[in-house]
Amino acid sequence: MMATRNIVLLLLSITVVAQIVLYTDPLGTFRYPFAEQEAVSGSDSGHLNLLSQEFSAALEEPSVVVEDTTNTKNLRRGFLFPKQGEHASARVLSATNEGGQTKGENPIKLVTEGIKRGNQSSNLDKYDTTGDSVNGEDAIDVDDNEGKLAKSFDASDQASETLDTKQEQQHTESSGKITKKGPSLLGTDKHNDPTPADARLRQLKDQLIQAKVYLSLQAVRNIPHLTRELRLRVKEVSRTLGDASKDSDLPRNANERMKAMEQTLMKGRQVQNDCAAAVKKLRAMLHSTEEQLRVHKKQTLFLTQLIAKTVPKGLHCLPLRLTTEYYTLNTSQQQFPNQQKLEDPRLYHYAIFSDNILATAVVVNSTVAHAKDTSKHVFHIVTDRLNYAAMRMWFLVNPPRKATIEVENIEDFTWLNSSYSPVLKQLGSPSMIDFYFKTHRASSDSNLKFRNPKYLSILNHLRFYLPEIFPKLNKVLFLDDDIVVQKDLTGLWSIDLKGNVNGAVETCRESFHRFDRYLNFSNPLIAKNFDPNACGWAYGMNIFDLVQWKKQNITEVYHNWQKLNHDRRLWKLGTLPPGLITFWKRTFPLHRSWHVLGLGYNPNTNQKEIERAAVIHYNGNMKPWLEITIPKFRGYWTKYVDHDLVYLRECNINP
């Protein structure tokens, strides 16, 4: 009896012990993948304890069942033990309470931070199959058309890296399944990158280059049938490419011709094994292409300058019609009202020197549109003899509200002659005319913009004679004809220039707007008197203190420097270089919001700065009244042109 009892007790003991062993052995043999990684890398042991606590919490609350996506069998009470290499998100789900809130600190954050710390501190970092560290940014930079990057492991390390690679792939796969409804913990999936819109186009171009290289190699030329086939493929691919700029522009048979070309290129590769010859040919092709690009750029520059110098047909028609209308008026009808305000220093006076009627009208209209009291604004317009009548007629027909207008003819300035003005004497010299109008030399000049005939016009140099033109005024705001006013400008007259003559916005954000860009510092006269790194400033909206101008004898300073530059060795002709010299240490910097430049040459001009600016300036060749204007900036200018004017319709001017 006792023997039987002992046998039963022994069997019961074995049964109990067996169950304990069965349940505890998996726990003992289970290896937490991230804990293993941190143990190898010598990471903080506190983080390992934290992960162990998460695992214990999972055992205490086994009621949450995680769906088995890795073919692992569920244990008792519905708890799923993760396999080695499985993502931590499975355990994170089991660590939540019944209310859906996590205990303590966010476990997802803890796990992801642990991954980052483990990866950063480990000398045995995990790598993807490309051999590069994976992060959110690198995963995006994958070109699907060029295929995956080749493995870069050394032969000695390849065996040891294989296990790590497989484990990481398991991590990625399982995490993709478990967290497919939420954001990935490991960053962006690199397979989600869209295919470039010109992928096939670039591949066809690459094939075309390869074919041309093979056709130039002797080994291929010695095989007539292969040469004929390559030439045929080159013609086919060239026709397929045509003027396409993206894959959607290619014809339907593009894929077929791509495959045919690839097959032919394979034949060429089998024949040609001289890499040195291929490299030599590619270098020659590259050099030839660069030379062609240089020539085309030069031609483009010359043609752009030529277009900028021409007058559109509509703008040529407009002054002719206006002049005809002007001379049909009687003398009393040709006069402007409020002429008594022209010399009143208490009012706001503007100086505009231009032969472009439409551009001048935009400057006046935009200024008046934002003026608080238009009756206090006086516009002094000076033009040449050809446009004098037309300019007067325009403003007689289109008066700018209550503002006062004066239009003068530069020919009436009898004091402005070659004996008084050195620049006027220089502009009329045969050498100067030859400099501007010898077009065969212009094609070889790197500074074509300085050859614009506008610099031959004395209108462009009148800005240096403001006290002579307005002897009774104290301050004058000079405006170029290629600007648009967007805010009230009356605040400029109240700015204290602190004894300076010129108030202007500086333009030295970029290096090419400094003094050494405009002046010849190889000349000792320039090098001795000026700083090459000094900040330049902008003509186009300048407030001039005429009282200080006269006191400091600025006009005489200008004349002296013009005489020294008779041979154009100090600077090339224009108005900004002599302006920088004349107003050197006499210019007060205005806030940048008063004047924003670049709308005539830089399509990347900051849009927010344009919106905030009081004055925007279309400096450069792409004027808003030309076809070559920058389209997105043209609207700022055209909204101040009355499209319904009879003169504009008759001349087919559509701003």
pLDDT digits (tens, 9 = 90+) for 10-68: 777 776 666 665 555 544 444 444 434 433 444 444 444 444 444 444 444 444 444 44
174: confidence class by pLDDT, cuts 50, 70, 90: very low
396: confidence class by pLDDT, cuts 50, 70, 90: very high
Using one digit for the tens of pLDDT, what is the confidence trace for 82-126? Answer: 444 444 444 433 444 444 444 444 444 444 455 444 444 444 343
223: confidence class by pLDDT, cuts 50, 70, 90: confident
Q: What is the pLDDT of residue 31?
A: 45
124: its two tokens = 């045995």
Using one digit for the tens of pLDDT, what is the confidence trace for 436-463? Answer: 656 444 444 445 555 555 656 788 889 9
Q: What is the Cβ-side half-sphere exposure of residue 16, based on CA atoms within 13 angstroms?
A: 6
Give CA 543 to chain center in angstroms.
32
* Angle, helices 388-397/313-326, rounded to nearest 10 degrees: 80
Identify which of 509, 502, 490, 470 has the alpha carbon closest to the alpha carbon of residue 576: 502
Architecture of domain 313-651: Alpha-Beta Complex (3.90)
User: How far apart (Å, rounded) are the C-alpha atoms in residues 226 and 232?
Assistant: 10
User: How far apart (Å, rounded) are the C-alpha atoms in residues 119 and 127?
Assistant: 10
| CB-based contact 482:618 (threshold 8 Å) | yes
> What is the pTM for the complete model shown?
0.59
Using one digit for the tens of pLDDT, what is the confidence trace for 377-391? Answer: 999 999 999 999 999
Q: What is the pLDDT of residue 115?
A: 43
Supply the DSSP symbol for 102.
Answer: B
Q: What is the pLDDT of residue 306?
A: 65
323: confidence class by pLDDT, cuts 50, 70, 90: very high
Q: What is the pLDDT of residue 542?
A: 96
User: How far apart (Å, rounded) are the C-alpha atoms in residues 517 and 532?
Assistant: 8
Identify which of 444, 429, 464 has the alpha carbon closest to the alpha carbon of residue 574: 464
Unique residue bearing structure tokens 């931590």: 88
Q: Where in the chain is the domain with CATH 3.90.550.10?
A: 313-651
135: its two tokens = 């992060």
324: its two tokens = 């005809």
Q: What is the Cβ-side half-sphere exposure of residue 433, based on CA atoms within 13 angstroms?
A: 5
**Whether residue 6 has pLDDT greater than 70:** yes
